[in-house]
Each structure stands twice: as C-alpha cells, then as structure tokens.
C-alpha cells in the first residue's frame, strides 16, 4: 500500500482534470484522485463526489487540496468520518 496519496477537490471538473495531468507528469508514482464540479456539469462541490475521491484512494494518509470554501467544508466533514488521515491544504 502506498504511504501517501493526493486528493484534488475543485469546483471545476476542467481544473481537476488539468491538475491531475500536471501532477502525474512530475509525480507519476503517487496515487492521485480528483473530483470537480456537480452532477449536472456545473460549478460546485459535491460531498458524494469528494467521498468517492477519498474512499478510492489506496493510501491511508492523504494530502487533500481544495480551491474554494465548500470543497474545504466537504473535506472537513469527510475527515471526521474517514479512517484515513487527511491533511487539508488550499491550492
């Protein structure tokens, strides 16, 4: 199991996808999950999507980066329920 993973949470699916591409270029061996936007393709942060990004991480210690307030709020709520150690940082 990997020691450390990265989770990206953005209000924009395009930003999340772009960050994943960029990070994979410089750190290809670090497990990376990301989520961005709402179910309808609009801007926003979905608790359910954030939960999937965290739960699908193979690592138990996560660096979680977010862009705006509700993304942080969703990560903080998950931090309370998850068995994973989540270190939250703003991008």
Catalytic center residues: 11
Q: Name 27's Cβ contacts closer than 8 Å, sequence gap at least 6.
A: 6
Please give the Cα distance from 9 to 16 (Å, whole number).
7
CA 69, 70, 75, 79 torsion: positive or negative? positive
Please give the Cα distance from 40 to 13 (Å, whole number).
11
């Amino acid at each position: 199991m990997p020691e450390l993973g990265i989770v990206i949470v953005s209000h924009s699916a395009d930003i999340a996808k772009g960050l994943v591409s960029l990070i994979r270029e410089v750190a290809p061996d670090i497990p990376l999950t990301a989520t961005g936007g709402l179910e309808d393709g609009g801007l926003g942060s979905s608790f359910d999507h954030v939960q999937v990004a965290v739960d699908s991480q193979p690592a138990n210690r996560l660096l979680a980066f977010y862009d705006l307030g509700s993304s942080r709020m969703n990560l903080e709520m998950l931090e309370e329920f998850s068995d994973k150690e989540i270190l939250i940082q703003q991008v």
